[in-house]
Amino acid sequence: MDLINPHVVDLSRFQFAMTALYHFMFVPLTLGLTFLVAAIETVYVITGRRIYRDMAKFWGHLFAINFALGVATGLTMEFEFGTNWSMYSHFFGDMFGTPLAIEGLMAFFMESTFIGLMVFGWDRLSRPAHLAITFLVAVGSNLSALWILIANAGMNVPAGTHFDPDTMRMQFQSFVELVFSEDAQAKFVHTSVAGYVCAAMLIMGISAFYLLRGRHRELALRSFRIATLFGLISSVAVITLGDVLGRMDYAKQPTKIAAIEGLWHTSNPPYAPWAAFALPDDAKQENHFEIGIPFVLTPLITHSFTQPITGMHELEDQAAPRIRSGIVAINALKHYGDTHSSADLATFRAHEDDMGFGFLAMRHSPNQDTSAITEADLERVVHQTQPDILPNVFATFWAFRIMVALGGFFFIFFAFSTFFSLRNQLESNRWLLHIAVWAIPLPVMATEFGWITAEAGRQPWTVFNRLPTFLSSSSHTVGYMTFSLIGFILLYSALIVAEFYLMFRYARRGPQDHTSHDTTLSGLHNAQGGHF
C-alpha cells in the first residue's frame, strides 16, 4: 500500500523524455531562424534590395510552420510537471514554477503577439519598424529559452532556494541568485547558440538543394553566404560554452562529469588519458574496451595539469557516510512532522545537507521506509544505495561523445563553407553542397544528444542531491501511463508526418510560389480591432 511503483516511475521518465525530445526538435530551430531572418532583413533595410525582402519572407514563413508545432508540443511540457511529477512539483514548485510563469509573461506573449505582425505586417509598417518587430520576435523566442534554462539550471545546481521542514519543500529565497547563477548563464548561452547552428544548417541545406538543382540561384547564394557566417561564429561559441559547462559540472556535479568521461577510478594528472572510445558496463562498473588519448583529460576538464578528477568508485565510497547521515536526517524529518519538537529539528538540521541521500536510501529500505531499517540491516541498505548515486554511464558517455563529434564536424564544415562562399566557388564544389543537404538534421540531433547528456547525467536526481527521481513522479498506475503513452505516440507520429509533409512541400516549391498577398491578408488580422 502506498508504495512507489518503479515501473510507473520508469514509464513517466520515458514519457517525459519522449515529449521533451520531440518538443526540442522544433525549438532550437526557432531560436536561430528568428535571428537569421533578422540578419537578412537588416541587409534589406541597409541596401534596400528587394531580394533580401523575399528571402526574409521565405525563411520567415518556414519559421512560422515550425513555430506552430513548437507551441503545441510546449503545452505538454508546461502541464506534464503537474500531471506526471506531482511530488517534484510539490517539493520544488515554489521556486521552479516562478521562471516557468515568467516565461509565459515575458516571452510567450511577446513571441505570439509579434509573430502575427512579422508575417502579416510588411505593408503596414515602415522598414525599420518591421525590422524592429523581427528582432522582438527573435528576442522573445530566446527569452523563453532563457527562463526554461534558468529553471533547468535550478534542478541541476539548486541556487537561491533552501529546504523548509515545516512545508516539506524547497522554498524560494533569492531571485537574483536563481537568475544569475553561473550554471543558468552558461546553459542558456550554450543552448541558444546551438539553436543558431541548427538554423544556419537548415538554411544552408535548403539553399544547397536549390543550387544543386540550379533553382532560385540568387536567393540561395545570398542565403548560404549569410547562414555560413552565422553558423561559423555560432559553432565556435557553442564549443566555448560547452567547455565552460564541463568545468562547471566538474565543480558541482562530479557524478555527471565522471559518467561523461567513463571514469571509474580517480584520474592521475597529468597523464590521465581521455577515452575517445569505450564500452562502459553499468552492471559491472567498468569499461570493457577503451581507446584513450593520454594527457588530454586533465587539461580538458580542469584547465590545469594537476587537479585530479574523482572517479565513480571513489564517489560511491564518499557517498556511504552521506547515505548514513541522510537516513538520520529523513527519520528526524518524518518524526518532526508528527511532533514538531525542537530536538527532531536540531537532529535534522545537523544532517540536512545529506537529506537527498536519505531519500535515495528509501528505495532499498523495508517498505520504502527508512525508519524501519534495523541496526543490522543498515550496512546492506547503504551498500545497495551506493551504486544508485551514479547515472547511466553508457548513455551519458555516448550521448556526450556523439554531441561533441557533431559539434566538431559543424565547425569544420562551416569553415569550409565560409571559405568557398566568400570566394564564390560554391557551385563548382558540389560535394560541399551535397554534404550541406544531408547535414540538415545533424545539428538537431546534436542538441537532442546534448539534452540527454545533461539530463541523463543529472540522474538519479530531479533536484540535484536533494530529491531523487524515483520519489518525484505522481503515484499513477501502469494502466494510466500506458494510456497516455500510447496516445502521445499516436498523436505525435501523426503530427510529425503532417509537419514533414508541409515543410518538404514548402521547401521544394521554393520562394516563387509564395508571392505575397499581404495587402489582402493584413485585413484578416483585424477582425478584433477595437472590440475588447
Partner 1 sequence: MTAYVILKLLWTGILGFLLSALGLMVGMDMGVGTLLRFVGRTDPERRTMLNIIGPHWDGNQVWFVLGGGAIFAAFPSLYGTSFSIFYVVMILLLFSMILRPVAFEYRSKVENKHWRAGWDVAFLISGFVPMFVFGAAFGNVLQGVGYHFLWTGQYIQDESFWSYLLNPFAILCGLMSVALSVQQGGAMLMLRAEEPIYSRAKQYSSLGGLVAAILFVIGGVWMHSMKGFMLTAPVDPNMPANPLHGQHVAMVKGAWLTHFTAHPLLWLIPIIGTVCMVASSFCLRRDHVGLAWWLGAGSWIGTIGTIGAAMFPFLMPSSTAPDQSLSTWNATGSAYGLTAMLVVSSIFIPIILSYTSWCYHVMRGRVSVHDVINSHDSY
Partner 2 sequence: MFARFPALLKLAGLGAALVIALLFAVFVGDQGPWYFAWVVGTVMIVLISATGAVLFEAQNSEEHDKNKETQP
Q: Nearest-CA neighbor of 459 among 398, 401, 400, 395?
A: 395
Q: Rounded to the nearest whole angstrom, what is the least distance from the CB of residue 62 to partner 2 in the complex?
A: 17
Q: Pick one of partner 1, partner 2, none as the site partner of residue 42 (Cβ within 5 to 8 A by kind).
A: partner 2
Task: Tell me: does residue 241 bind partner 2 (CB under 8 A).
Answer: yes
Point out which span in 120-128, 223-231, 297-305, 470-478 binds partner 2 (CB under 8 A): 223-231
Point out which span in 163-171, 230-238, 322-330, 387-395 binds partner 2 (CB under 8 A): 230-238
**In the structure, how many helices (H) and strands (E) does the chain have?**
20, 6
Cell, residue 16: 517525459
Q: Pick one of partner 2, partner 1, none as the site partner of residue 412 (Cβ within 5 to 8 A by kind).
A: none
Instruction: Give the whole-angstrom CA distance, residue 329 versus residue 370.
Output: 10
- Neighbouring CB atoms inside 10 A of 337's CB total 12
Q: Pick one of partner 2, partner 1, none as the site partner of residue 378 (Cβ within 5 to 8 A by kind).
A: none
Q: What angle do CA 260, 266, 256 make, to 5 degrees?
A: 25
Q: Which of 83/384 has CB closer to partner 1? A: 83
Alpha helix ranges (H) inside 253-363: 254-260, 297-302, 312-339, 342-351, 355-362
Instruction: Give the whole-angstrom CA distance, residue 226 versus residue 200.
Output: 8
The single residue among 234, 310, 465, 484 that binds partner 2, judged by CB under 8 A, is 234
Whether a cis peptide bond, with omega within 30° of 0, leads into 269 is no
The single residue among 7, 48, 49, 343 that binds partner 2, judged by CB under 8 A, is 49
Instruction: Give the whole-angstrom CA distance, residue 216 versus residue 198.
Output: 22
Instruction: Give the whole-angstrom CA distance, residue 132 versus residue 111.
Output: 13
Q: Pick one of partner 1, partner 2, none as the site partner of residue 43 (Cβ within 5 to 8 A by kind).
A: partner 2
The single residue among 350, 422, 496, 498 that binds partner 2, judged by CB under 8 A, is 422
Residues 156-215 that bind partner 2 (CB under 8 A): 176, 179-180, 182, 185-186, 188-189, 192-193, 196
Q: Which of 109/271 has CB closer to partner 1? A: 109
Please state, in angstroms and as integers, the Cα–Cα distance from residue 273 to each residue in 276, 284, 303, 308, following that order. Answer: 9, 21, 15, 12
Residues 307-326 that bind partner 2 (CB under 8 A): none
Instruction: Give the whole-angstrom CA distance, residue 447 versus residue 241.
Output: 14
Q: Rounded to the nearest whole angstrom, what is the least distance from the CB of residue 402 to partner 2 in the complex?
A: 25
Q: Rounded to the nearest whole angstrom, what is the least distance from the CB of residue 497 to partner 2 in the complex?
A: 33
Task: Tell me: does residue 110 bind partner 2 (CB under 8 A).
Answer: no
Task: Tell me: does residue 216 bind partner 2 (CB under 8 A).
Answer: no
Q: Pick one of partner 1, partner 2, none as the site partner of residue 234 (Cβ within 5 to 8 A by kind).
A: partner 2
DSSP for residue 266:
-
Cell, residue 248: 562547471
Instruction: Give the whole-angstrom CA distance, residue 205 versus residue 156.
Output: 35
Q: Which of 46/293 has CB closer to partner 2? A: 46
Task: Tell me: does residue 233 bind partner 2 (CB under 8 A).
Answer: yes
Cell, residue 517: 498577398
Q: Which of 374/526 has CB closer to partner 1? A: 526
Q: Which of 75/291 has CB closer to partner 1? A: 75
Burial group, residue 305, by CB count within 10 angstroms (0-12, 13-18, 19+): exposed
Q: Rounded to the nearest whole angstrom, what is the least distance from the CB of residue 42 to partner 2 in the complex?
A: 5
Longest dimension (CA), the chain: 81
**Strand-strand pairing, 461-463 and 467-468:** antiparallel
Task: Tell me: does residue 35 bind partner 2 (CB under 8 A).
Answer: yes
Q: Rounded to the nearest whole angstrom, what is the least distance from the CB of residue 211 to partner 2 in the complex?
A: 14
- Neighbouring CB atoms inside 10 A of 291's CB total 10
- Neighbouring CB atoms inside 10 A of 494's CB total 10
Task: Tell me: does residue 445 bind partner 2 (CB under 8 A).
Answer: no
Q: Pick one of partner 1, partner 2, none as the site partner of residue 226 (Cβ within 5 to 8 A by kind).
A: partner 2
Task: Tell me: does residue 133 bind partner 2 (CB under 8 A).
Answer: no
Q: Which of 409/480 has CB closer to partner 1? A: 480
Instruction: Give the whole-angstrom CA distance, residue 128 versus residue 68.
Output: 26
Q: Pick one of partner 1, partner 2, none as the site partner of residue 478 (Cβ within 5 to 8 A by kind).
A: none
Q: Rounded to the nearest whole angstrom, what is the least distance from the CB of residue 295 to partner 1 in the complex?
A: 48
Instruction: Give the whole-angstrom CA distance, residue 509 versus residue 215.
Output: 10
**Distance separating the N- and C-terminal Cα atoms of the chain:** 53
Q: Which of 182/282 has CB closer to partner 2? A: 182
Query: Exposed e or buried b for every residue in 508-520, given b needs 16+ CB within 10 A?
Result: eebbeeeeeeeee
Cell, residue 195: 539553436
Task: Tell me: does residue 126 bind partner 2 (CB under 8 A).
Answer: no
Q: Pick one of partner 1, partner 2, none as the site partner of residue 529 (Cβ within 5 to 8 A by kind).
A: partner 1
Task: Tell me: does residue 237 bind partner 2 (CB under 8 A).
Answer: yes
Cβ atoms of 449 and 405 closer than 8 Å: no
Instruction: Give the whole-angstrom CA distance, residue 200 versus residue 193.
Output: 11
Q: Rounded to the nearest whole angstrom, what is the least distance from the CB of residue 218 to partner 1 in the complex?
A: 22
The single residue among 64, 71, 125, 229 that binds partner 2, judged by CB under 8 A, is 229
Q: Which residues bind partner 2 (CB under 8 A)?
A: 35-36, 38-40, 42-43, 46-47, 49, 52, 142, 176, 179-180, 182, 185-186, 188-189, 192-193, 196, 221-222, 225-230, 233-234, 237, 241, 244, 421-422, 424
